[in-house]
Amino acid sequence: MKKSVFVGAFAATALVAGMAQAQMLQSIQDRGELNCGVSTGLAGFSAPDANGVWQGFDVAVCRAVAAAILDDAMAVNFVPTTGQTRFSALASGEVDMLARNTTWTFTRDIDLRLTFVGVNYYDGQGFMVSRDLGVSSATELDGATVCIQTGTTTELNLADYFRANGMNYEPVPIETNAEAQQQYLAGACDVYTTDVSGLAATRASFESPDAHVILPEVISKEPLGPVVRDGDKEWEGIVRWTLFALVAAEELGITSANVAELAQGTDNPEVNRLLGSEGEFGSMLGLESDWAVRAISAGGNYGEIFAANIGDQTPIGLARGLNALWTQGGLQYAMPFR
């Protein structure tokens, strides 16, 4: 509901702002810094560490883009945005791009005049319950009390799901994820529902994670990806193909450890084209020929970024699942560098 109020306001202004803001690449190079909108704090995806340096899965995308353009992964000015301010910050030019767990939907893409350049994380809405409840499927949740964040798509998905399955539920509205954890642990609700990645992160932070289960049903599609304004194809291309470069690098076995060596030239022509030892892909984007080398050196390829920030060796402990490469049964698929 909240979002639909903003939709109208953006639609009128975004186009104007978008046109005025063409030549994004030039202005970023002049500024020497990328303005990247991130979330104000989401475990594993974006959060400042004890030294105030932003870390996380979404943050890594900003760093890769900054590295590709400016050859400096730290030349990013992170602008914390909330669910309400993110699109207007982008439309008004306060940020150059958003890398902020934003779901790619029809209205955002078309009506808000934004461009989703790809998907860096495939998420979906799920349920977490206490193991004591003895529930093994979401279809057994009839009559449950559900903690739900207000003003998000999850609220609508929940209503749809329960109606489609002819079940009733009692919503317990909450504002933030931290509040939800407290309410859920205090027993104010039987079920907590949000994106599965958020559930996993929340569960991992519990004192006894094993006492809680995430139910197998995923009731919605939440493809999260970086967003830019409409109206600057060159800039859109840079962000899109930087993301693709990270995914393609994993597919081609290029890591942050061997990228410098492979950039000298290999027998694989696609690796050569990606890393700039063959072809003119860099200059087509308006960048130097080693743009992809820099992007990959910043934080590694897609798989390395995943493992370092949210993978199963981290406290967040997410499995690759849908986010595995297409060759390994997942959905991550970079368009060919040709």
Residues contributing to the site for other proteins (CB under 8 A): 13, 17, 20-21, 27, 39-52, 55, 77, 79-82, 84-85, 88-89, 91-94, 176, 178, 181-182, 201-202, 204-207, 314-316
Closest distance to other proteins from the beta carbon of 10 (Å): 9
Contact 239, 228 (CB under 8 A): yes
Give the nearer residue to other proteins in terms of CB position, either 74 or 257: 74
Dihedral in degrees, nearest 10, Cα atoms 266, 271, 277, 279? 130
Closest distance to other proteins from the beta carbon of 169 (Å): 25
Closest distance to other proteins from the beta carbon of 268 (Å): 36
Closest distance to other proteins from the beta carbon of 60 (Å): 14
Sign of the C-alpha dihedral computed for residues 83, 89, 90 and 92 taken in this order: positive
CA distance 37 to 58: 10
Give the nearer residue to other proteins in terms of CB position, either 157 or 202: 202
Contact 95, 35 (CB under 8 A): yes
Closest distance to other proteins from the beta carbon of 26 (Å): 12
Q: Using DSSP bridges, classify how beta strands 222-224 and 121-123 pair: parallel, antiparallel or unpaired.
A: antiparallel
Strand partners, 54: 48
Give the nearer residue to other proteins in terms of CB position, either 167 or 185: 185
Give the nearer residue to other proteins in terms of CB position, either 150 or 165: 150
The three-class DSSP label of residue 76 is strand
Give the nearer residue to other proteins in terms of CB position, either 276 or 299: 299
CA distance 226 to 295: 15
Q: Which residues, in sequence order, are CB contacts of 228 under 8 Å at separation 6+? A: 24, 90, 96, 97, 98, 114, 115, 117, 235, 236, 239
CA distance 131 to 145: 16
The three-class DSSP label of residue 137 is coil
Closest distance to other proteins from the beta carbon of 259 (Å): 26
Give the nearer residue to other proteins in terms of CB position, either 90 or 292: 90
Q: Using DSSP bridges, classify how beta strands 169-174 and 76-81 pair: parallel, antiparallel or unpaired.
A: unpaired
Give the nearer residue to other proteins in terms of CB position, either 39 or 120: 39
Closest distance to other proteins from the beta carbon of 103 (Å): 19
